[in-house]
Structure 1
Amino acid sequence: MFSEPTYIVLDIPSPVAEKVQLIRSWFDAERAELPVEITLAGSSGLGRIAENENNEKVFRILTDMASRIEPFKSSFERVERFPGTEIFYFSVSAPEKFIEIHKRIASSGIKFNPTAYPVYKPHCTLKLFSESAEQEIRDLLNTAPLNSDFLLNTMSVYELRDGTSPKQLFSVKLGTSVS
């Protein structure tokens, strides 16, 4: 059972993760230290993992799935904003691979809560919710993309207490065969 909001993600590795945390510290210090990741389930497209879902079942499904996904490279493109929100994020290059993994998770048999954002948009959040002044919005939208490719090779499950206290419940390397 999952007692707190729980998400499935691809972890962004160092040193790119630290660069994102630095940008977050300028615009959303409260969330600057959250894991830097691209959410696969728990945001847009799929809601968070259902509270009554079995932990071991989820981890077993994700282990099997991860064994069939090879690590892949991506990069951040530009800062965008979800319409009608205060959520700013880096968009990703070649979103097709993320969408493919998202679809696999959606059809995996894992139960999810509903989401207010039914269309999946792979992204890395920079700022959430707090109201932005016009200059801050311009600064965010003009933030230069990080000129670094990164290798995505780890899928994780995080529980997020009170919006700022993450706990990693599970992690698996992509392309790791199941014994």
Structure 2
Amino acid sequence: MFEHPAYLVLELPEFIGTRVLDIRRRYDPHLAAFPTEITVAGSSGIGTIAPDQDARVVYQALSQVASEHLPISSRFVGISRFATGPVVWLQPADPGPFIAIQQALVATGIHFNTHKFSYTPHCSLSSCNLVPSVIEALLREDFPQEAFELSVLALYKVVNGQAGLVERFHPGVQA
């Protein structure tokens, strides 16, 4: 079922997502084609969903995690850059709820591919190699700082460099 890389993300509400997209369009048009979100499985900590698992079992587990851990209230407090690569990202105020949801995903028994980086909750603004002056400009960008609520856990797969929605999981809705 999961033959293509499958990521689990918390989708940003539209009023925040449109502002994130605006920044992405200016600094990384390729990334602007991807959903505006905070990844909880696939980009750090735990990897993508491992292949050869029963989709019904995985979906039930994801539905349970969404019901137990969503919604999450958050806001962004800064723009940072990973020391290990080109990714520039928005930092949520409190990483705790994101770490808790990732730990809950691991506890379900879903198998995930390994990932070499520890988990840092974030929303990517750019993942391409930018020249230093452009990186500095991006780090000084005005970004959305108002509070928002994350209430959707979404499963996306990436095929040929394109992200496609597979399923959304909402609190209180069992698969």
TM-score band by shorter chain is over 0.9
Greater alpha carbon shift after TM alignment, 63-72 vs 149-158:
63-72
- 1:157-176 CA distance string (max 9 Å, x none): 0001122x1111110112x1
Correspondences of 1:23-172 after superposition (within 5 Å): 23-117=23-117, 119-128=118-127, 130-163=128-161, 165-172=162-169
CA distance in structure 1 between the partners assigned to 2:125 and 2:70 by the alignment: 27
- Give TM-score, length-normalised by structure 2: 0.94
- 1:41-83 CA distance string (max 9 Å, x none): 0011001101222222111101122122241211111111111
- 1:97-155 CA distance string (max 9 Å, x none): 111111111121000111121x1110001111x32111111011112331221111110
- Give TM-score, length-normalised by structure 1: 0.92
CA distance in structure 1 between the partners assigned to 2:73 and 2:98 by the alignment: 11
CA distance in structure 2 between the partners assigned to 1:162 and 1:29 by the alignment: 17
CA distance in structure 2 between the partners assigned to 1:70 and 1:87 by the alignment: 27
CA contact under 8 A between 2:20 and 2:143: conserved in structure 1? no
CA distance in structure 2 between the partners assigned to 1:162 and 1:91 by the alignment: 28
| RMSD (Å) for aligned C-alpha atoms | 1.4
Count of aligned pairs between the two proteins: 175
CA distance in structure 2 between the partners assigned to 1:47 and 1:72 by the alignment: 22
Show structure 1 runs of 4+ deviating over 3 A. none
* Alignment correspondent of 1:173: 170
Which stretches in structure 1 are left out of the alignment for 5+ residues? none
CA contact under 8 A between 2:2 and 2:52: conserved in structure 1? yes
Shift of 1:16: 0.6
CA distance in structure 2 between the partners assigned to 1:147 and 1:64 by the alignment: 30
CA distance in structure 2 between the partners assigned to 1:74 and 1:148 by the alignment: 9
* Alignment correspondent of 1:14: 14
CA contact under 8 A between 1:74 and 1:151: conserved in structure 2? yes
Q: Sequence identity, in percent?
A: 30
Paired amino acid for 2:121:
P
SS at match of 1:57: helix
CA distance in structure 1 between the partners assigned to 2:10 and 2:91 by the alignment: 14
Shift of 1:24: 0.2
Paired amino acid for 1:134:
P
